[in-house]
Structure 1
Amino acid sequence: MTALCVATIYPFLYLLSLSFSTGDVPLTRIHLLPPTWTWANYEKVLTNEYILSGFANTIARTAIGTALSLTATVFAAYPLAKRFFPHRTFWTGFIVFTMFFSGGLIPNYLLVKSLGLMNSVWALVLPGLVSAFSLIIARNFFMALPESLEESARIDGANDIVILFRIVVPVSMPIIATLTLWTAVQHWNAWFDSLIYMTDAHKQVLQVVMRRIVLQGTKDMMDVNSFEDPNLVANPDMIKAATVIVTVVPIVLFYPFLQKYFVKGVLVGSLKG
């Protein structure tokens, strides 16, 4: 386990060290602490217009996509968890069917283009609004809840909407937090759909910008802003490392807030957190 942890953490520590290193540090040396410190790499990255716009686009996509996806998943999973729901088995099987077969890339692209969603955040959110896997997980969790909770609420005169938001959702925070984490990470890391549907460079998400910087070099992407101070001219490899760190750190900081719910949410048979 120690060896696995070291193998997992070392690349991040190495990138973090490179991101704070000056351009004269040899890349052939293995070091976890920068021999010479500098903030020039991060200043170069955080003042680049493409990275700033990509960061804002990624945050907007993650926030909108996670909120809408979670809402749609809960609204779809709750009725499917009820035994009295008409044709529940058919609709569940219909949803599971989509996990094995899909229309493909070209029909999806033609659909998004015909709906006029190109170069908008909705092209990144609506096509994958509901995940069949998350829907089944939430459905199984709702099915494990005791029926007596809802029966007592109905006796007090609560309708289905009140029961869902006042009874079911509060005791289902473990699975809701888990689905929130999964969906947020998925939206934050997604890049291929943005590469296809976004033709405006200023509407690309951060991951596409990082991909262009890391794979295609930094010249075209990082020379946008001019700097009067010659000390801020950094090594391209150090800039790439700083770009990766800026991309990874925000979603890593998101984990501790949902960590206490994550293990409980994976155990689908749990009742409450």
Structure 2
Amino acid sequence: MSSIQLSNKNKSKTKIKYTFGDRVFNFVNDGLLLLAALIVLYPLIYILSSAFSSPEAVSQGRVVFFPVDFSLRGFEEVFSHRAIVTGFANSIFYTVVGTTVNIIMTVAAAYPLSRKELPGRRIFLFMFTFTMLFNGGLIPSYLLTSQLGLINTRSVMIIPLAINVFNVIICRTFFETTIPDELLEASQIDGISHTRFIIQIAMPLSKAIIAVLVLYYGLGHWNSYFQAFLYISDRSKYPLQIILRDILILNQVNEIIADPLLYQAKRGMAQLLKYSLIVVASAPFMVAYPFVAKHFVQGVMIGAVKG
């Protein structure tokens, strides 16, 4: 026993000896990785710093890395504009309701497909997979949506996007590889139906995949732009992304500057409002991600090669 402990201590004290070439390589490698990280992160840092700076500092180009003349004026102007507040509320509604519908539909489709005893299982899988390869196209989709009476309604942002076949396949794979058949057999002996098994047993054991699906679906709904652009003309139902398009791409910043004094300094204020809007649009998922990061990392490893 003592010899084993001694050998372990010797191993712990053993240090890897790096040659001069190894040290040079590590130094250059670390420097390149740090440079790459700065290149990726700097636009985000610059936008955040500019959003919390004064209009004068932004217009004069004095913002480089940290906020200059700290100010919340941009956010005050953003949230004083009714269209932005309405778009923000609409995006939250579409994201929450749409993601809830997505999770229900995805689990309801994935669980039966994970059961090998399902009659016609391969046929159903083929039908699901076929829709990933071929679709009706934009014009038939628009005509179908119009005939269903979904044009210019909030439902058009939810019902046509209710399920994603790729996510169904991921969820089905998770159920197949994670939830053992013996667990279902034991629950059936106790008289539990498939519905109760999904709700009371399968779902609590599937936090990882649910977190992944919530993040995928939620981010998709929050960033959804084309769906609203095609089917919604009522500005009161616009999501935030359409409002961002009008302001950032069409450069309609002057519409949200209510103060005449601020209008005189519109050049700096326009840039400040753009940065503030980007922060407002990105903040919800930047705040929510740390809470699902643990389960998200576990979920994305589903199907990975394990050694």
The normalised TM-score by structure 1 is 0.92
Equivalent position to 1:7, from 39, 61, 72: 39
Equivalent position to 1:196, from 230, 233, 245: 230
Identity %: 33
Deviations 1:17-53 (A, max 9, x none): 2112223234655611222222211111111111000
Give the number of the structure whose residues are more often helix, by fraction: 2
CA distance in 1, matches of 2:252, 2:49: 19
1:88 alignment partner in structure 2: 121
CA distance in 1, matches of 2:261, 2:129: 58
CA distance in 1, matches of 2:114, 2:104: 16
- Bigger mean CA offset, 208-217 vs 19-28: 19-28
1:152 alignment partner in structure 2: 186
Deviations 1:132-175 (A, max 9, x none): 00000001111112111111111111111111111111111111
Q: 1:111 and 1:195, CA in 2 relative to 1: closer, same or farther beyond 3 A? A: same
1:55 alignment partner in structure 2: 88
Does the alignment pair 1:40 with 2:83?
Answer: no
**Aligned residues between the structures:** 268
Instruction: Give unpaired runs (5+ residues) of structure 2.
Output: 1-32
CA distance in 2, matches of 1:214, 1:230: 19
Correspondence list, 1:118-267, <5 A = 118-144=151-177, 145-219=179-253, 221-223=255-257, 226-227=258-259, 235-267=269-301
CA contact (8 A) 1:44 1:232 kept: no
- Bigger mean CA offset, 257-266 vs 17-26: 17-26
Instruction: Give the alignment's Cα RMSD to 1 decimal.
Output: 2.0
Q: Shift of residue 220 of structure 1?
A: 5.2
CA distance in 2, matches of 1:153, 1:189: 40
Q: Shift of residue 180 of structure 1?
A: 0.8
Q: 1:46 and 1:232, CA in 2 relative to 1: closer, same or farther beyond 3 A? A: farther
Larger-gyration structure (1/2): 2
Instruction: Give unpaired runs (5+ residues) of structure 1.
Output: none
Q: 1:146 and 1:269, CA in 2 relative to 1: closer, same or farther beyond 3 A? A: farther
2:14 alignment partner in structure 1: none
CA distance in 2, matches of 1:228, 1:28: 23
CA contact (8 A) 1:40 1:232 kept: no
The normalised TM-score by structure 2 is 0.82
Q: SS state of the match for residue 109, structure 1?
A: helix
Does the alignment pair 1:97 with 2:130?
Answer: yes
Choose between structure 1 and 2 for higher RCO, CA contacts under 8 A separated by at least 6 residues.
Answer: 1
The residue identity in structure 2 corresponding to 1:187 is: H
Q: 1:221 and 1:110, CA in 2 relative to 1: closer, same or farther beyond 3 A? A: farther
CA distance in 2, matches of 1:184, 1:217: 28
Q: SS state of the match for residue 55, structure 2?
A: coil
- Bigger mean CA offset, 100-109 vs 175-184: 100-109
